[in-house]
Structure 1
Amino acid sequence: MSNNPFVSIILPVYNGDAYIKESITSILNQSYGHFELIIMNDASTDTSFDIIKSIQDKRIRLINNDENMGLIKTLNKGLSLSNGKYIARMDQDDIALNKRIEEQVNFMEKNPKIGISGTYIDRFSNNKRIRIAKVPTKPEIIKCLLLFKNCLAHPSVIIRKDVLEKNQISYNILHTAAEDYGLWQNASFYTVVANLPKVLLKYRENPTGMTSIADSDKNKNRRKTIYKIIYKQGLTHFGFEPSDKELELHYLCASDDDIDIATLSDISKYLVKLKLQNKTHPIYNPFYFNSLLNRIWFKVCMKCRGSKIMNVKIYFKSELSKRGNPLLFRSF
Structure 2
Amino acid sequence: MKELVSVLMSTYKEPVVWVEKAVNSILNQTYKNIEFVVIIDDPTNYEVIAFIESVCQKDNRVKLIKNEKNIGLVASLNKGLKFCDGKYIARMDADDISMLDRIEKQIIAIQRYCADVVGANTQTFTEQSVCKEKIIYSSSWACKQVLYWCNCCPHPTWLVKKEIYIKLCGYRDIKACEDYDFLIRASLAGAKIINCPEVLLLYRDNASSISHVNNYHQQVIAEYIAEGYRNGRVMALAEINAFLHSEQYQKRMLKLKACSQKHKTAVRIKLSLMLRNKYIAFVKYCDYGVRKLRKK
TM-score (normalised: structure 2)? 0.77
Counterpart residue number, 2:3? 5
Q: Check whether the contact 1:13–1:44 (CA below 8 A) recurs between aligned residues.
A: no
* Counterpart residue type for residue 29 of structure 1: N
What is the alpha-carbon distance in structure 1 between the residues aligned to residue 78 and residue 40 of structure 2?
13
* Counterpart residue type for residue 325 of structure 1: A
Residues 102/240 of structure 1: CA separation in 2 closer, same or farther (3 Å cut): closer
Structural mapping, 1:11-26, within 5 Å: 11-16=9-14, 17-26=16-25
Counterpart residue number, 1:227? 222
> Per-residue CA shift, 1:19-75, capped at 9, x if unaligned?
111110111111111010000111332221111112221100001111111000001
What is the alpha-carbon distance in structure 2 between the residues aligned to residue 237 and residue 43 of structure 1?
38
Structural mapping, 1:133-282, within 5 Å: 133-165=134-166, 167-173=167-173, 175-189=174-188, 190-215=190-215, 220=216, 222-238=217-233
Post-superposition shift, 1:300?
5.0
Q: Check whether the contact 1:14–1:42 (CA below 8 A) recurs between aligned residues.
A: yes
Q: Does 1:104 align with 2:99?
A: no
| Local SS of the residue matching 1:237 | coil
Structure 2: which 5+ residue stretches go unaligned? 260-269, 288-296
Identity %: 26
Q: Check whether the contact 1:186–1:233 (CA below 8 A) recurs between aligned residues.
A: no
Residues 325/183 of structure 1: CA separation in 2 closer, same or farther (3 Å cut): same
Q: Check whether the contact 1:15–1:44 (CA below 8 A) recurs between aligned residues.
A: no
What is the alpha-carbon distance in structure 2 between the residues aligned to residue 227 and residue 144 of structure 1?
15
Q: Check whether the contact 1:8–1:88 (CA below 8 A) recurs between aligned residues.
A: yes
Counterpart residue number, 1:36? 35
Counterpart residue number, 1:85? 87
Residues 134/256 of structure 1: CA separation in 2 closer, same or farther (3 Å cut): farther
Q: Does 1:45 align with 2:1?
A: no
Which of 271, 281, 286 in structure 2 is aligned with 1:325?
A: 281
Q: Check whether the contact 1:95–1:201 (CA below 8 A) recurs between aligned residues.
A: yes
| Local SS of the residue matching 1:89 | strand
* Counterpart residue type for residue 40 of structure 2: N
What is the alpha-carbon distance in structure 1 between the residues aligned to residue 94 and residue 207 of structure 2?
14
| Local SS of the residue matching 2:116 | strand
* Counterpart residue type for residue 9 of structure 2: L
* Bigger relative contact order (CA 8 A; separation at least 6): 2
| Local SS of the residue matching 1:82 | coil
Residues 233/163 of structure 1: CA separation in 2 closer, same or farther (3 Å cut): same
> Per-residue CA shift, 1:156-207, capped at 9, x if unaligned?
1100011222x3242111x211111111111112211110111111111112
Query: Computing the radius of gyration over CA atoms, which structure comes out larger, 1 or 2?
Result: 1
Post-superposition shift, 1:237?
3.0
* Counterpart residue type for residue 90 of structure 2: A
| Local SS of the residue matching 1:104 | helix
What is the alpha-carbon distance in structure 1 between the residues aligned to residue 221 and residue 104 of structure 2?
35
| Local SS of the residue matching 2:100 | coil
Residues 172/240 of structure 1: CA separation in 2 closer, same or farther (3 Å cut): closer
What is the alpha-carbon distance in structure 2 between the residues aligned to residue 239 and residue 89 of structure 1?
23
* Counterpart residue type for residue 18 of structure 2: Y
Counterpart residue number, 1:27? 26
| Local SS of the residue matching 1:54 | helix
TM-score (normalised: structure 1)? 0.69
| Local SS of the residue matching 2:93 | coil
* Counterpart residue type for residue 21 of structure 1: E
Counterpart residue number, 2:292? none
Structure 1: which 5+ residue stretches go unaligned? 259-295, 303-314
What is the alpha-carbon distance in structure 1 between the residues aligned to residue 93 and residue 224 of structure 2?
25
* Counterpart residue type for residue 176 of structure 1: K
> How many equivalent pairs are there?
258
> Per-residue CA shift, 1:193-246, capped at 9, x if unaligned?
11011111111111222222222xxxx2x335522552254245359999x9xx
Q: Check whether the contact 1:171–1:180 (CA below 8 A) recurs between aligned residues.
A: yes
Root-mean-square deviation (Å): 3.4
What is the alpha-carbon distance in structure 1 between the residues aligned to residue 235 and residue 61 of structure 2?
46
What is the alpha-carbon distance in structure 2 between the residues aligned to residue 75 and residue 238 of structure 1?
24
What is the alpha-carbon distance in structure 1 between the residues aligned to residue 98 and residue 13 of structure 2?
20
